Amino acid sequence: MTTITGLSAVLHRAPLVRPWGTDVRSTHVIEVVVDCDDGTSGTGLSWTPTIGARALLALIEDDVRAFVVGRESDARSLWPALWAHLHEAGSGGLTTMAMAGVDLALWDRAARLRSLPLADHLGRTRDSAPVYGSGVNLHYPIDELVEQVGRWVAAGHQAVKVKVGRPDLREDVERIAAVRDMLGPDRRLMIDANQRWDLPTARRAVAALAPFDLDWIEEPLRAEDTWAYAQLRSAIDVPIALGENCHTIYRFRDLIDAGAVDVVQPNVVRVGGITPFLAVAELARAHSLTVAPHLLPELSGHLALALPEETWVEDVEDAGFTRLGILSGPAGVVMADGRLRLTGAPGLGLDFAESVTPGIPAQSEGRTARDHDLMKESA
């Protein structure tokens, strides 16, 4: 077994091509490289759109690096030991998001050693996966929302997801009616409330929106409110999707045992990487629940292609890593005609940019003093 000899991290800041709101105009990706004593390395990432990027970088460079250097490079055996070590700082959240960088890097290295894309290393079960168009669009005027949905239809998507949760429910109804008109009767429609409602509001909202033939309602309530989710699920016919803000398999197990969820949505970074993602997916499968990976199609696509059942991959418009200038070239997956496929690149297929993509002024900070078009801070 090889041993980890080094870990390095760089925080990339990239402006969003389509801001997710007046206060969300950039996203943060932490590139993590793990080196081993046989001369090989792997590249992974941690990610947070808005909150905690510097805290993540510090946790990776201090506590995570100090623990993993000198240990064996097997992701499955390292993960529980690292989680136990970091548990004092929290069972999930920053801890699992920091762990994801290492776990992804080790899986990337293992796949690259076999010259295989990650999906093939895991055991690919299909050649392609369906992609649904998604956007952070609650702040869009209704005409812009409909135009966005029109772009997804033109791109071949057979399903889309849009945000709901306007202060006046009548606005949500008007907007979803317009979206359904653009989609037509045969394409699938999901809605996402991003934890904006309490239980009575959610009941009223779902009753008003259900006639538009919804595949699921995502995060209608606070992600921590297991009791309310169980109550809501027993009161509505629209399936509940939940999981992007769950960080441990224990949290997923509690939701499943409570009968609170229909569609399980682990985010591969927030749960701590591929090792726990696979465990969550197996737990959901054991309870006959649908798995739908949350965001990050460059990672989720590999996982979707390796799951036993076909699952949808989420593609947020203009938020891919290549589009944001974080990568030096194409990712390891490609999306076209409503489907995701591999490019054949080994591992995760992610090579991070050394400099800014022209026209997209990203910034980075961390292990090196890279030259960028804009000023950067050194960690």
Share of the chain above pLDDT 70, in %: 93
User: How confident is the model at residue 364, as a pLDDT?
Assistant: 52
Answer yes or no: are the C-beta atoms of 82 and 66 closer than 8 Å. Answer: no
Average pLDDT over all residues of the chain:
93
Partners of 242 in beta bridges: 264
Query: 280-298, pLDDT tens digit by residue?
Result: 999 999 999 999 999 999 9
376 is known as an active-site residue: no
- Considering the candidates 294, 302, 372, 376, report the single residue annotated as catalytic: 294
| Signed CA dihedral, 128, 301, 136, 256: sign only | positive
Tokens 């960028």 belong to 372
* pTM, to two decimals: 0.92
Q: Please check the confidence at residue 356 and state whether its pLDDT lies above 70.
A: no
The CATH classification number of 4-115+352-366 equals: 3.30.390.10
pLDDT band for 373, please (50, 70, 90 cuts).
very low
Q: Please check the confidence at residue 357 and state whether its pLDDT lies above 70.
A: no
Distance of alpha carbon 11 from alpha carbon 28, whole angstroms: 7
Query: 202-234, pLDDT tens digit by residue?
Result: 999 999 999 999 999 999 999 999 999 999 999
Query: 107-131, pLDDT tens digit by residue?
Result: 999 999 999 999 999 999 999 999 9
Domain boundaries, the chain: 4-115+352-366, 119-342
Query: 238-297, pLDDT tens digit by residue?
Result: 999 999 999 999 999 999 999 999 999 999 999 999 999 999 999 999 999 999 999 999
- Considering the candidates 12, 28, 163, 372, report the single residue annotated as catalytic: 163
Which CB contacts under 8 angstroms, 24+ apart, belong to 194-202?
194/138, 194/163, 194/165, 194/218, 194/219, 195/219, 195/220, 195/221, 195/222, 195/223, 195/245, 196/164, 196/165, 196/220, 197/165, 197/221, 198/228, 199/225, 199/228, 199/231, 199/232, 202/232
Share of the chain above pLDDT 90, in %: 91
Tokens 């939940």 belong to 242
Query: 307-327, pLDDT tens digit by residue?
Result: 999 999 999 999 999 899 999
CB atoms under 10 Å from CB of 74, counted, come to 13
163 is known as an active-site residue: yes
The CATH class of the 119-342 domain is alpha beta
